[in-house]
Amino acid sequence: MTEYAHTVDVAVIGGGPAGLAAAAAAAREGADVLLIDRNPQLGGILNQCIHDGFGLHAFGEVLTGPEFAHRYLHQALDAGVQLQSHTLVTHLSPDGALTCSRYGARETVHTKATVLAMGCRERTRGMIRIPGTRPAGVYTAGTAQWLTNMANIRIGRRVVILGSGDIGLIMARRLTWEGAEVVAVIEKLPYPSGLPRNINQCLLDYDIPLHLSHSVTCIHGKDRVERVTVSRFDEHGCTVPGSEFELACDTLLLSVGLIPENELSRHAGVALDRTTCGADVTDTYMTSVPGVFSCGNVLHIHDLADWAAEEGERAGVSAAQYVDGTTRPSDPASVAVRPGDGVRYVVPQRARQTAETVLLSLRVTAPRGPTTIRAVSGDAVVGELRLRKAHPATMEQVTIRLSDASGDVEVRCE
Amino acid sequence: MNERIIPCILCPNGCELRVAWDGQPSEQSIAVDGNLCPKGVSYAITELTHPMRTLTTSVRVRNGVQRLTSVKTAAPIPRDAVPAIRALLRPATLDAPVAIGDIVLSNAGGTSVDVIATRPVPRRSSEDPA
């Protein structure tokens, strides 16, 4: 086995929107940056997201996923980032050394800082425990999207989609266009999880029924899916007896949630947040391991790639400043930022007292009407966001002023 | 009197537009409520009289490092024109290399909108795996 070793200032693991933006930002700050991705092509999941709706916030225009990825790829190239695709990082040690596998050779990369941007993966049938037989024809929505948009493979003719997240809705329209019949979209919650835009343009345009407060409770079929049983769920999350009906189909797509892909982080000793399943970070996006930063969907699930890329930029700048000594591990992040009433999580979870302002990303626990999200420290209100409505599917952001804070910060809905 | 709720998609406010009209929907007969700005009114009228959509799909590529490139209409087109343009794109095949913005179909279906490539596909060299 051949072994190589080299040294860089900043290594970025993952070449999706967050990783590309982080690498470009760190390089613009003057760092020597290496970006590593396991796929042959950079851009991450954006390459298979051929629909439009990207870039409205980042570029002020509507782009498709591949076009959005191309913009950030060129930012990284223009900033002098070394790009290395086809390379799998197999281990991250707490001292910043990466072990990589590339075309059968092992490489070691020594770094002064590392940015984690590995993204997330989909929840599977096994994770939501759908009873029934185990036939072919059950796919996660993102896998179906890859097969359809990248590999040109037809996945089925009569499709039921479980979960009303955006990937599932986008695939409902995509499969309709590719000649399949989408029988129904089934959502366990009493409200859809996807954007109103996608409900309108992907379901209503094609008369695809959406069954809210329902879920698939059995999969039938020997070799291939033949039909699924669908049941209604009450407000306590229990099935309503007698509400079952069956839908004939040969394919079931699952769009039932995303999980940050944190195996490398965990092995490096990075402390994770139990709610986000991503790292616990400071306002510089540094994890509990000094010199290791986290951003994008590996930190918490974003609803827009634009937000993941912006977060990547902030983490990339922080990593470069850590390397050149602008920020030091000796700046303790002593202010805890905690979710309060009506707030599911807040990122970052800790802040340095010396930081003047910190941008918080958060989600509410349930849909609400007019809401004020307030960040409170002692008796002082350190940040406030007024919303006409709030929804768990929509990430909200609020800036807090730490100069006004006395001790820890709680963020709550009022 | 016909009524419908149309979620406005033009900005993150996401107004739920309550739309009512008599007989055939037209600019004069449609009443819009629930909008925070005037854009909501014109959006609701467009949605009811001639909804516009951007079509995004994929077409085959010969001799490229990937089999497909993704494509889009360079501007929104009438929703009613979507099926015809999809049918026109079905047999389309491009030769690599493909660059972002390459025209796949000009004046697609008489809409005066071009269909353009959205993903670059380099040409496959003889050493690359098939």
pLDDT tens column, B103-127: 999 999 999 999 999 999 999 986 6
In DSSP terms, which residues pair with B21 in a beta bridge?
A: B2, B30
Residues in chain A, overall count: 414
Percent of chain B with pLDDT over 70: 95
Is pLDDT at A377 greater than 70 in this prediction? yes
Domain topology for B56-117: CPE0013-like fold (3.10.530)
Interval A162-212: pLDDT, tens:
999 999 999 999 999 999 999 999 999 999 888 888 888 899 999 999 999
- What residues of B are in the A interface, CB distance below 8 Å? 6-7, 9, 13-14, 51, 53-54, 56-58, 60, 65-68, 70-72, 79, 86, 100, 118-120
What pLDDT shows up at residue B10? 80
What pLDDT shows up at residue A149? 95
Q: How far apart are CA A241 and CA A140, in angstroms?
A: 28
Interval A110-147: pLDDT, tens:
999 999 999 999 999 999 999 999 999 999 999 999 99
Is pLDDT at B128 greater than 70 in this prediction? no
Q: Count Cβ atoms below 10 Å from residue A17 Cβ, excluding itself.
A: 34
* Residue A101 contacts B where some CB pair is shorter than 8 Å: no
Percent of chain A with pLDDT over 70: 98
Q: Is the separation of the CB atoms in A268 and A292 below 8 Å? A: yes
Show residues of chain A in contact with B60, CB under 8 Å: 152
Please list the residue range(s) of chain B that carry CATH number 3.10.530.10: 56-117
The contacts of residue B9 (CB under 8 Å, 6+ apart) are A195, A196, A197, A200, A201, B43
Show residues of chain B in contact with A196, CB under 8 Å: 7, 9, 14
Q: What is the DSSP string of A199-246?
A: IIIIIGGGT--EETTEEEEEEE-SSB--EEEEEEB-TTS-B-TT--EE
Q: What is the DSSP letter of B121?
A: B
Which residue does chain B place closest to A206, by CA atoms?
A: B79
What pLDDT shows up at residue A406? 86
**Min Cα–Cα distance to chain A from B57, Å:** 7
Q: Count Cβ atoms below 10 Å from residue B80 Cβ, excluding itself.
A: 10
Show residues of chain B in contact with A47, CB under 8 Å: 119
Helix (H, G, I), strand (E, B) or coil at A98: strand
* Residue A201 contacts B where some CB pair is shorter than 8 Å: yes
Of B6, B7, B72, Cβ closest to residue A52: B72
Interval A233-291: pLDDT, tens:
999 989 999 999 999 999 999 999 999 999 999 999 999 999 999 999 999 999 999 99
Interval A20-46: pLDDT, tens:
999 999 999 999 999 999 999 999 999
Token pair of A112 as six digits: 């002064």
Is pLDDT at B49 greater than 60 in this prediction? yes
Is pLDDT at A65 greater than 60 in this prediction? yes
Helix (H, G, I), strand (E, B) or coil at B48: helix
Show residues of chain A in contact with B57, CB under 8 Å: 50, 177
Separate counts of helices (H) and strands (E) for chain A = 8, 27
The arithmetic mean of pLDDT across residues B11-26, rounded, is 83
The arithmetic mean of pLDDT across residues A368-381, rounded, is 94
